Structure 1
Amino acid sequence: MGKLQLLSATLAIFLSAIAIPTTFVDAVAVGSVVTPAFFNRILSQAGTGCKGKTFYTRAALLTAARAYPRFGNLDTALWSKREIAAFFAHVTHETGRKVLLVHDVCVGADFCYVEEIARNTYCSPSSQYPCAPGKKYYGRGPIQLTWNYNYGACGKANNFDGLKNPDIVAKNAVIAWKTGLWFWMKSVRPVVKQGFGATIRRVNGGECNGGSPAAVAARVKYYRAYCRSFGITPGPNISC
């Protein structure tokens, strides 16, 4: 072995020896945090007449999460679990909205809605993502994806035609979860470490600053409950 080769080999061994292990929670570990028991406790809140009760599945979520391996992978195990708790707090609220606070526990029609009730067109003029004739871009999926520009961009990122076929979000559970994760990673994930309150502003900022105190309180209650389920503290700045 030449001197240069020997030096390279020695350097490689040295770098390997001093490599600092990460505390990241990888995509596979999302399934160890979102256990069947945790997921089913939320799902059990949906009544028998709720479409989401059979539509939203843990298996579909974990399949969708493979397309977003950074989800639930936020610097440390603590922040990774806080991110997952925050995501589920918003998803639970967005798909339920019928919430009662009983002894500090959120009770309602969680995971009930796949499509929002007020099904308006939600078409904004866009040269990049023009609305298709006769299509409506109202809220669908676990985080209620809305507006043509979001359907267009999300579809492009996840290999479906969100403009011509927005209804697929309410028909394919994996795609539905992908829309939620796409929106989360694009718009919410960057502020997770600012506290749960910052994520409320990204998901529905109109609720903050007195816009809808009850809705903010419900989201915070969900978040606190899920943090307790994961055995972690909720962190700072949890309201907005």
Structure 2
Amino acid sequence: MSRMRTLATIAALVITGAMAVILPSTVASAAACATPWSATTTYTNGMVASRNSHNWLAKWWTLNEAPPGTTGVWADQGVCGGGTPPSPTPGACNHPNWAAGTNYVTGNIVRYTNGLYYIAEHDNPGYDPIISTWYWDPYTCTGTPPSSPPPTNPGAFVVSEAQFNQMFPGRNSFYTYSGLVAALSAYPAFAKTGSDTVKRQEAAAFLANVNHETGGLVYIVEQNTANYPHYCDLSQSYGCPAGQAMYYGRGPIQLSWNFNYKAAGDALGLPLLTNPNLVQTDASVAWRTGIWYWMTQNGPGTMTPHNAMVNGAGFGETIRSINGSIECNGGNPGQVQSRVTAYQQFVQILGTTAGNNLYC
């Protein structure tokens, strides 16, 4: 056999970068080339562009990354030059893994590290689906997104957005209802344990304490800056890596002290010890820290605030778990009354009663 390549073989030799690849068919039999890739065009999931005699399928949002790229966003659809343009057919659950820092647009579907799929509800620069409010709830992937929009009250939270706004008419825009609802998934038992009355009472109790701690959801951070350096317990082995004055009160329960940031971060899978500012920059993170304390911490009390409400100990015990003798047992009856008054108002908004044992 001749050692010389045939003309047909030479025609099938395509140079890609520095590599020569022998293709099984000639360029003439390949699919038609799509519109050439452009550095100024934004490509989203399913869009096709051509470059270097190949068609390339965008698997998610991309801009100014020439195929084949370095992030994996482009899927090679093969040599182009004849026939008809490719029509991508998404297979079941054929969606890319979520990547922090990747720009996503509304409708993009990503597979998170927990194996669940999330749909971007808004354009965003790679926010974490678990801790942000920019994604729909996870769904069972079938290759196509749900046909209905995300619910306005996901998970049937006992407090509607209208009721939330009625409770906090002057709230800071940082404290979003969507952020609160997104945080509920961290502790599914919150306001979902017991009778409908107990569920409403617990939600009202949490929000009444939040109301007191933040001046009606007005303050995101502790106002007395002179206290800031005091919240670093250097006896802890991990110290205060973010800085001695960085563990001041933040968020709806005014999370403070390095050991609380460490414990909350460990529980929620967030780097709060090294980046405590997350609590004052991400509404969902802020709400999650508040619910974390409510569900898991006794504080200076004898039980968690959650257990106080679902086990019948009453609203007064939630105050003890948050501020203990600073307010309870005659420590500061005015502060206690402020919390109780808000609780009574909130249960009325939710259409239920306050129950017993309101004071501590």
Tell me, yes or no, if the aligned pair for 2:167 and 2:346 is still in contact at 8 Å: no
Contact 1:115–1:140 (8 Å) recurs in 2: yes
Query: 1:145 and 2:255 equivalent?
Result: yes
CA contact (8 A) 1:57 1:173 kept: yes
Question: Which residue is equivalent to 1:111?
Answer: 217
2:352 counterpart of 1:232? yes
Partner of 1:99: none
Q: Deviation at 1:212?
A: 1.2
TM-score, reference length from structure 2: 0.52
Name the amino acid aligned to 2:155: V
Which residue of 259, 267, 271 maps to 1:161?
A: 271
Are 2:204 and 2:347, in contact at CA under 8 Å, matched by a contact in 1? Answer: yes
**Greater percentage in helix:** 1
Instruction: Tell whether the 8 Å contact from 1:95 to 1:143 is kept in structure 2 after alignment.
Output: yes
Q: Which residue of 1 aligns with 2:233?
A: 124
User: In the superposition, relative to structure 1, how do residues 229 and 133 fare at CA in structure 2: closer, same or farther (>3 Å)?
Assistant: closer
Go from structure 1 to structure 2 and tell me whether the alpha carbon gap of 1:156 and 1:214 turns closer, same or farther (over 3 Å shift). Answer: same
For the residues of structure 2 that align with 1:198 and 1:54, how far apart are their CA atoms?
A: 30
Rounded Cα–Cα distance in structure 2 between residues aligned with 1:228 and 1:114: 26
C-alpha distance in 1 between matches for 2:256 and 2:156: 29
Contact 2:163 2:350 in 1 (8 A): no
Equivalents in 1 of 2:256, 2:355: separation in Å?
A: 29
1:190 deviates by 2.1
Query: Is 1:197 aligned with 2:306?
Result: no
User: What pairs with 1:1-240 in structure 2 (closer than 5 Å)?
Assistant: 28-30=155-157, 33-46=158-171, 53-96=172-215, 110-119=216-225, 120-121=228-229, 122-132=231-241, 134-135=243-244, 136-187=246-297, 188-192=305-309, 193-205=312-324, 206-240=326-360
CA contact 1:42–1:111 (8 Å) conserved in 2: no
Instruction: State the Cα distance separating 1:42 from its structure 2 match.
Output: 2.9
CA contact (8 A) 2:315 2:357 kept: yes
Is the alpha carbon distance of 1:134 and 1:125 closer, same or farther for their aligned partners in structure 2, counting shifts above 3 Å?
Answer: closer
Cα displacement string for residues 191-218 of structure 1 (whole angstroms, at most 9, x for unaligned residues): 2220000000001111112211111001
Q: Larger relative contact order (C-alpha < 8 A, sep ≥ 6)?
A: 1
Could you tell me whether the CA contact under 8 Å between 1:169 and 1:175 is conserved in 2? Answer: yes
Alpha-carbon deviations, 1:54-97, whole Å to 9, x = none? 1000001000111211101222111111110100000111110x
Q: Which has the higher strand share?
A: 2
Paired with 1:129 and 1:77, the residues of 2 have a C-alpha distance of: 42
Contact 1:142 1:176 in 2 (8 A): yes
The amino acid that maps onto 1:228 is Q
Give how far 1:225 is off. 0.6
Identity %: 44
Equivalent pairs counted in the alignment come to 193
- Preserved contact between residue 140 and residue 169 of structure 1 (Cα < 8 Å): yes
Q: Measure the CA separation in 2 of the matches of 1:117 and 1:139.
A: 9
DSSP-derived class of the 2:155 partner: helix
Structure 1: where are the runs of 5+ without partners? 1-26, 47-52, 97-109
In 2, distance between residues paired with 1:199 and 1:128?
A: 30
Secondary structure of the structure 2 residue equivalent to 1:54: coil
CA distance in 2, matches of 1:127, 1:203: 22
Root mean square deviation of aligned Cα: 1.5
The two structures have a TM-score, normalised by structure 1, of 0.77
Deviation of 1:125 after TM superposition, in Å, equals 3.2
CA apart distance, 1:38:
1.1
CA distance in 2, matches of 1:36, 1:44: 12
**Paired letter, 1:116:** E
Identify if the C-alpha distance between structure 1 residues 233 and 90 changes in structure 2 by more than 3 Å, giving closer, same or farther.
same
